[in-house]
A and B are shown apart, each in its own frame.
Chain A
Amino acid sequence: MYPRSDVLDPQGKAIAAALARLGHGSVKDVRAGKVFFLEVDGSDAAAVERDAHRMAEELLANTVIEGFDVRVVSP
């Protein structure tokens, strides 16, 4: 999950400033988010992805200010 692009992200701004100070002038913007690694049972990748979407909407992300992406990685 990550702060939505229309929401101010103070942490991302601070990181962007630090990268600029290190000479990485190509960086235009940084948004700082979180990654959750979930180990789940299930063989149907589409169903697992749907479940993960629900989990993100219900708890893992606050959709007022955050967006999210779900990726299913097979073991």
Chain B
Amino acid sequence: MKFAIVVFPGSNCDADCLHIAKDLLGCEADYVWHKETSLKNADAVILPGGFAYGDYLRAGALARFSPVMDSVAEFARAGGPVLGICNGFQVLLEAGLLPGAVRVNKGLRYICHDVFLRVENNETAFTRLYERGGVVKMPIGHGEGNYTASREVLDELSREGRVVFRYCDAQGRITDSANPNGATANIAGVSNREGNIVGLMPHPDRCSEGLLGNDVGRKMFESVVTALASR
């Protein structure tokens, strides 16, 4: 089992992801520089957080044209598991691999704190070890995480159960006050129809070991290991 962690100029959570894959999960893992076109025979791909290309134009807008993205798209369309975390999620949205877009946060500020999330779908490649309807605490850190999509796309996402996480309060209630950035319908993460591409604004990579005070995010990485083992 091997992870590829894509590194764009400005990625800054790549080392965290590599550490989780290698040191915590005992898997193989390698960085893939954005100018490369080979994913090095990886079984799963992670687009990490950060500020690819300095978020110039729009977050993820320029990263989407990096040479590696053609390989990521090909890998994803063939059913390969791809996880986009925060900026990686923004890249997947800009690349059209996941539907919708993010706007600047409702409060116009960069926000960095823990949020509660309700697991809405535990059938994706990255969430199968969570309990459906369960509440997990993860940190966010973003200025543009205010998710939205056209009415038709939002209907489709909800009809097909493709909202993976929603912001909620500690009891799992989906409320306005539990919504940190103004995201439509409290959406924190979505998947494609097949469930092999998942993107979310919160950072599972920043809560994957006890040393950090929270290891709930680790299950996202363990989920894909389990998913691939059962293929």
Interface residues of A (CB under 8 A from B): 3, 7-11, 14, 59-60, 62, 64-65
Contact = CB atoms under 8 A, between A and B. Distances in A.
A32 B198 CA distance: 31
A52 to B, nearest CB: 16
Interface residues of B, number: 18
Contacts of B65: 59
Contacts of A10: 103-108, 146, 182
Nearest to B62: A59
B100 interface: yes
A36 B105 CA distance: 23
Q: Is the interface of B mostly helix, strand, loop or mixed?
A: loop
Contacts of A60: 57
Given A59-B61, A60-B57, A65-B148, A11 B104 contact: yes
A64 B108 contact: no
Interface in B12-65: 57-58, 61, 65
B57 A65 contact: no
B1 interface: no
Contacts of B112: none
Interface string B158-196: 000000000000000000000000100000000000000
